[in-house]
Structure 1
Amino acid sequence: MSLEDIAARLGSLLRAGGLSVSTAESLTGGLLGATITSTPGASDYYRGGAITYATDSKATVLSVSETTLASDGPVSPATAEQMAHGVRELFGSSFGISTTGVAGPTGQDGKPVGLVHIGISDTGRTVSHEFNSTGTTRDEVRRQAVERALSLLVDHLNRSEGS
């Protein structure tokens, strides 16, 4: 399934449930939000996004704890979770989704190229998922991170719908 197909599926689920989403991005640099908004009618459910590429912007824009950033670093499950929660609060959306990781060409702070953490936050809980990209270029890592993030949110919505 293409990125556009996954984004369209996500849009259908959000629209059907009267739900909304916002994005917090680091390594994907806006690609996640751009993919979501590539679907016609995305304004029905996409509230907005924050590209917090610099570590300090994660704290100032998304309220990621300085303690978390100092102890766990910008590429960590806790940071992904706090980014997702922060963007959901910032935009007042039903869901916040975040991406943080290492796109390359070299590792960062002892973290390997291709390591990605994706956070999903809703009103009930916030979780993170670790993903190891098989991409060999920055673009491939970023694209795979977006595909995984969208797929995880679709799965999350499908599970919620079935409950």
Structure 2
Amino acid sequence: MTEAARVLALLAERGQTLAVAESLTGGLVAAELTGVPGASASFRGSVTAYATALKHELLGVDAALLAERGAVDPEVASQMAAGVRARLGADWGLATTGVAGPDPQDGQPVGTVYVAVAGPAGGVSRAGSPAGSPEGIPVGSPTGKVVPLRLNGDRGEIRRESVRIVLELLREELSGNVRAQDTEQNGGN
């Protein structure tokens, strides 16, 4: 079973939906999700906001933040995930932003990527990077989690690894929330 299939199965079990905001991945996350039969039960849609201005216009990312820090920033990723969640009316939002290359962008080197998830719980998770991802300290936001990545490889490899890690991040968040719900329903036992 692929990571996309696992995520969609967890969402379907919960009766929840997902929306995706993509920059450097250019629609690859959405393609991975829609490649799974039955994805329409949980996947609402995506916004590929490749141009920096579209991150503000379509996703509601703060224009001053974009002007000050550029598009490759943890808070931008967080606002993209929250923005697509709100704009597309989904329970969960995912976002990818970063530099796939061949040249640096916004003063950031090739391989600098931020992936984010925004969910309905509104809690901040600071548990660590997804299993198998490069080490990094997640940056919490009021609605989810942002993980900074430093990826190696060519443009295609950086983009594919970003897709894998953002889907893994969501699966871990969904699994953690399922465990939390089970604990609450069972009186903490």
Confirm or deny that 1:132 pairs with 2:129. Answer: no
- Which residue number corresponds to residue 46 of structure 1? 43
State which structure, 1 or 2, has the greater radius of gyration over its C-alpha atoms: 2
Q: Residue type of the partner of 2:119?
A: D
Q: Which residue, 9, 12, 23 being the options, matches 2:9?
A: 12
Q: By how many angstroms is 1:110 displaced?
A: 1.4
Q: Which has the higher helix share?
A: 1
Aligned residues: 159
Question: What stretches of structure 2 of length at least 5 have no aligned partner?
Answer: 123-142, 181-189
- Which residue number corresponds to residue 175 of structure 2? 158
Q: By how many angstroms is 1:73 displaced?
A: 1.3
Question: What stretches of structure 1 of length at least 5 have no aligned partner?
Answer: none
Residues 5-154 of structure 1 mapped to structure 2, 5 A cutoff: 5-123=2-120, 124=122, 125-134=143-152, 136-154=153-171
Equivalents in 1 of 2:84, 2:16: separation in Å? 15
Equivalents in 1 of 2:16, 2:105: separation in Å? 36
The RMSD of aligned alpha carbons is 0.9
Worse overlay, 121-130 or 18-27: 121-130
Identity %: 42
Equivalents in 1 of 2:103, 2:70: separation in Å? 16
Structure 1 stretches of at least 4 aligned residues deviating more than 4 Å after TM superposition:
none
Q: Residue type of the partner of 2:144?
A: T
- Aligned to 1:106, the other structure's residue is in SS state coil
Q: By how many angstroms is 1:126 displaced?
A: 2.6
TM-score, with structure 1 as normaliser: 0.95
